[in-house]
């Protein structure tokens, strides 16, 4: 049996937070120039957002688990923590399976 979308999303966010702190710590060293530091930070943010929006979705309707409210995709509010219920169809994202 698989973990719920909610548990997998929280596990990912904890690992991502630890990884981002590690990357930030490495970037604080004087090994990289300022443009390289900015590029690495932006790349890490893009990869993190891509994973969040493509991997953790409601099994019923496909809405991202991190979407909280809004009108349409452009005016939606996304948070760094997942919802327990889908904001679109109301599916319980804490259910295993």
The whole-angstrom separation of Cα 43 and Cα 50 is: 11
Give residue limits of the domains in the chain: 5-78
Task: Extract the tokens encoding 77.
Answer: 């509010």
- pLDDT surpassing 80 at residue 49: no
DSSP string, 51-94: HHHHHSB-TTT--BTTEEE-STTTT-EE-SS--SB-TTT--BTT
d(CA 57, CA 70): 17
pLDDT tens digits, one per residue of 53-66? 778 888 888 888 88
If one counts every other C-beta atom within 10 angstroms of the C-beta of residue 65, the result is 26
Portion of the chain with pLDDT greater than 70, in percent: 93
Q: Over the stretch 10-35, which tens digit does the pLDDT of each residue have?
A: 888 888 888 878 877 777 777 777 78
- Three-class SS state of 30: coil
């Amino acid at each position: 049996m698989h973990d719920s979308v909610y548990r997998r999303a929280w596990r990912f966010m904890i690992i991502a937070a630890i990884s981002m702190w590690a990357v930030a710590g490495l970037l604080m060293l004087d090994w990289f120039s300022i443009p390289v530091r900015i590029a690495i930070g932006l790349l890490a943010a893009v990869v993190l957002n891509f994973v969040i929006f493509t991997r953790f979705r409601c099994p019923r309707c496909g809405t991202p688990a991190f979407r909280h409210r809004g009108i349409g995709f452009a005016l939606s509010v996304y948070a760094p923590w997942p919802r327990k219920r889908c904001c679109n169809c109301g599916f319980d994202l804490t259910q295993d399976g």
